[in-house]
Amino acid sequence: MDGRAGAPAKGLGCEYATWGVAAHSPFLHYGNGKWNQIGAGMPTLDWIGKQAVVNHHREVPYRLVHCDSDLSAGDPDAGNLLVQGDNLEALRALLPYYAGKVKCIYIDPPYNTGNEGWVYNDNVNSPEIKAWLGNVVGKEAEDLSRHDKWLCMMYPRLRLLREFLRDDGVMFASIDANEVAHFEVLLRETFSNFEIISIPIVNNMKGRNDRDYIATCHEYLVLVARHNFVSHGIPLSQKQLKEFKYTDEQGYLFASRDLRKRGGADTRDERPQLWFPIYKSPESDELSLEAQEGWIEIYPMKKDGTEGAWRWGKSRVAKYLSTLIPSYAKANEKWNVSYRVYLDSEREDELFDDDPEDFTEDYDDESGEAIERTTKPKSFWWGPELSTDNAGKELKSIFDGKKPFEYPKSVSLIQKILSMTGGKDDLIMDSFAGSGTTGHAVLDLNNQDGGSRRFILVEMDQAISEEVTAERMRRVINGFDKNGNAATPVEGLGSGFRFCRLGVPLFDEFGDVAREVTFPDLAAHIFFSETGVPIPHRAQSDFLGVFQDRAVYLLFDAAHAETPREAAGNVLTPDRLDALPPVPEAFDGTRVIYAEGCTVSAARLKRAGAVFKQIPYQIDGV
């Protein structure tokens, strides 16, 4: 790649995109376990159409969100949403409700391979994207390369996605070599002051036969996080889990670890109090700290014959002697002693007490690192559970042995990502939902650990959203027959989701309520923006409903929008306040009343436990 400012990017198949260097921000490079500042500038990327989309995310209108109960499933109040529509418009519509609330975003955007044969088109020449580019970029869009189009499509969506993240939020994106170079630089512009790490993932061990000389077997997972992000680790691999091959009397799995101390201060000279013999019966695995005739004396000897040290002091060994395991090493013809490390940390806590005076941390035999039930994420991921082939089999098992979506992601991949974020009640977002793997992974992980994570999925294609994404969610929630075989039923995961569509823009170019917006439309938006949950039923009166400590009212007449008139009923007067429909008897919160105007004094509103909000200025999202 030519590093000169303004020079075309070479070897990336991009005729128009160019590289430049911005002087306003340092470039951070990740290496040696830390972020390093390189030079005074940060690489930037320019392309045809960029100026038209730089601020476009602010120009996208807020749209109404309509819930479709026929396509929803399970518990409607589980807090999960599947929104069908252009993800740019959907993100803008959801922003007033979820800005700054999302812990983890995962996206799997089109890879821009030029392949137009997929069910979910991965080429930016799809009709939806072409129409969007024509409206936003204008006639210039006709001359764009597919890379320019992809960048135009991604830029405003990334700008909006950033606004959803919590302060400790993180985003992951799957991408391949077609756009990864562009994508990383694009992220540095849209997610400035974030760390960006690209992790290769082997997702096809056989390799795809799509290159002349090298069979591609990997893609990338790009991690975007603030510098204070702390990974909570990822689940143990199948190989690591196999180490927990022993079972105790209660049926709990454990692995054995050498009781001899490894790492720093592990010799007799350094830790003399940890040098003592443990005796083993010649006829059984019984152990003792008391010398007995004929019993085998075991000391913590190193392989080179150096006198070592035990991990535990004498009093701790005595306390848990019955849990220790003797073993004979033929290689050096010596006896060793091991202790138990349980897969279930709660079982370990139940059996073993922390003794601050006589307890040393458990360390891995080989690496010297602390024993964990999760493992630190590596800079390279691979494993059969992450493969596209495995993901395809998962999807086929749900859809009666048929695969309705090409190249889905695996549930295991998303669950590894979610394990890194740590929280059991996090909000997860996926704005390129596709087959719905993210939603499936959230539900399955909640089922495993009792969590209450929620998801927001957005899928542009109507057919896919209804026939694949929503249908998959419905089946995994309610249960299904694996591969369509009634003899192998799979129990449902429970929970539920609401299927939503985007309606007309709520506000016109002047910020006023659009003429097309009806009372039920505005009521739905106001209730959603005020409470964060959909309106419980289609509004037919001033009283919209109650959620937690708020009762929401709307005084609005579409025929007299923007014109406060008591006769039209869109002004809160003292008489109207007294005549409002009553709240439920047990309600003990605040009445929030939206109207075009108000003639009630602040003191009287306070006595009535009411708050007035003016239309349209105090509606979230204007």
End-to-end distance of the chain based on CA atoms, in angstroms?
A: 44
Which residues face 557 on adjacent strands? none
Residue 577 has pLDDT above 90, yes or no: yes
Amino acid 38: pLDDT: 41
10 Å CB burial of residue 129 (0-12, 13-18, 19+) is buried
* Burial grade of 13 (CB within 10 A; 0-12, 13-18, 19 or more): middle
The three-class DSSP label of residue 549 is coil
pLDDT at residue 128, rounded to an integer: 58
Cα separation, 89 vs 76, whole angstroms: 23
Burial call 515-531: b when 16+ CB within 10 Å, e when fewer: eebebbbbbbbbbbbbb
The residue ranking higher by pLDDT, 246 or 369, is: 246
181, 198 in Cβ contact below 8 A?
Answer: no
pTM: 0.68
In angstroms, rounded to a whole number, what is the distance separating the alpha carbons of residues 228 and 165? 13
- Residue 63 and residue 92 in contact, taking contact as beta carbons nearer than 8 Å: yes
Report percent pLDDT > 70 for the chain. 82
> Are the CB atoms for 416 and 231 separated by under 8 Å?
no
pLDDT of residue 454 exceeding 90: yes
- Measure the CA–CA gap between 507 and 515, rounded to whole angstroms: 9
Name the phi and psi angles at 27, rounded to 5.
Answer: -95, 130
Going by their DSSP bridges, the two strands 489-491 and 479-481 should be labelled as: antiparallel
Q: Say whether pLDDT at 440 is over 50.
A: yes
The CA distance from 373 to 324, in Å, is 20
Looking at residue 134, its pLDDT comes to 62
In this prediction, residue 175 carries a pLDDT of 92
201 φ, ψ to 5°?
-125, 120
Q: What angle do CA 579, 582, 584 make, to 5 degrees?
A: 175
- The structure tokens 């279930």 sit at 344
Residue among 544, 546, 545 at smallest CA distance from 555: 544
In whole angstroms, give the CA distance from residue 312 to residue 324: 11
Report pLDDT digits (tens) over 282-317. Answer: 999 999 999 999 999 999 998 888 999 999 999 999
Which of 118-132, 449-463, 493-507 has the lowest average pLDDT?
A: 118-132
| Torsion of Cα atoms, 181 then 182 then 185 then 186, to 10° | -150
Q: How many CB atoms lie within 10 A of CB 199?
A: 16
Note the pLDDT of residue 145: 64
What would the two tokens of residue 326 be?
């003797």
pLDDT at position 262 is 84
Work out the mean pLDDT of the chain and round it to a whole number: 82
Q: How far is CA 508 from the centre of its chain?
A: 34
How many other C-beta atoms are found inside a 10 Å radius of the C-beta of residue 368? Answer: 12
Give residue 34's pLDDT.
44
Q: Transcribe 587-604 into DSSP letters.
A: --SEEEEEESEE-S-HHH
Number of H helices, E strands in the chain: 17, 31
C-alpha to C-alpha distance for 142 and 161, rounded to whole angstroms: 27
Q: Is the peptide bond before 584 cis (omega within 30 degrees of 0)?
A: no
Q: Is 323 helix (H, G, I), strand (E, B) or coil?
A: helix
Task: Express each pLDDT in 217-265 by its tens digit.
Answer: 889 999 999 988 888 877 776 777 888 899 998 999 998 989 999 877 8
Residue 166 phi/psi, 5-degree rounding, is -70, 170
Q: What is the pLDDT of residues 383-401, one digit of tens each?
A: 888 888 889 999 999 999 9
Q: 572 near 597, Cβ under 8 Å?
A: yes
Of the pLDDT bands very low, low, confident and very high (cuts 50, 70, 90), residue 159 is very high
* Number of residues that make up the chain: 622
How far apart are the C-alpha atoms of 226 and 105, rounded to whole Å? 13
Answer yes or no: is pLDDT of 371 > 50.
no
Question: Regarding beta strands 165-175 and 102-107, do their DSSP bridges make them parallel or antiparallel, or are they unpaired?
Answer: parallel
Look at residue 564 in the predicted model and tell me its pLDDT: 82
Quick check: 108 pLDDT over 90?
A: yes
Banded pLDDT at 53 (limits 50, 70, 90): confident
What residue ranges in 460-523 does DSSP mark as E strands?
479-481, 489-491, 496-505
Distances (CA, A) of 564 to 567, 570, 603: 9, 6, 22
